[in-house]
Amino acid sequence: MIVLKIAVLLMASLAAGDAVARRDAAPAPPAVRAEPAKPVPPKKPPPKRRAVHQIVDSMPAYGPRLNAPPPMPPPVPLSPQPAPSAIVPSTVAPPPAAISRCDAGGCTDVNGTRYNGAAGNTVIGPQGRTCANHGGTIQCF
């Protein structure tokens, strides 16, 4: 019984919605009188193009080229160069620098050299070396 009532209500609401939709539909457009078509002006021809010599470079070849001349032998030096010494000079670390002030970005020594802050008590010197901040001095390695 309840199912029947629900079915009747559903059909009635669908019918009412269809009637409202038909009533709200846009009216048909009025018939348009046919007027003679306006003449369309002729299109301009595209601008004339001129011939230009095209240069296409190729990708660089890897390895020997087929049409390349054979490689030249290395030039002979005019005077013999001295042999490199077997002893390599060692890099000496600079002496410790006295700190004048520090801030959140790093420290500055008494000469005005800036040491940028890193993790912990480590700072980076102006030459990119790792330096350690030991209280009032900075030692670079």
Q: Return the bridge partners of 124, or none.
A: 116, 130
- Phi, psi for residue 116 in degrees, rounded to 5: -80, 140
Structure tokens at 27: 């009216």
How do residues 32-71 score in pLDDT, each as one tens digit?
566 677 888 888 888 888 888 887 777 666 655 566 666 7
Query: In sequence order, what are the residues at sequence separation of 6 or more whose Cβ sits closer than 8 angstroms to the Cβ of residue 100?
Result: 108, 109, 110
- Give me the pLDDT at residue 33, please: 63
pTM of the prediction? 0.36
CA–CA–CA angle 10, 11, 15 (5° rounding): 120
Dihedral pair phi/psi, residue 63, rounded to 5°:
90, -170
70 close to 108: Cβ distance less than 8 angstroms: no
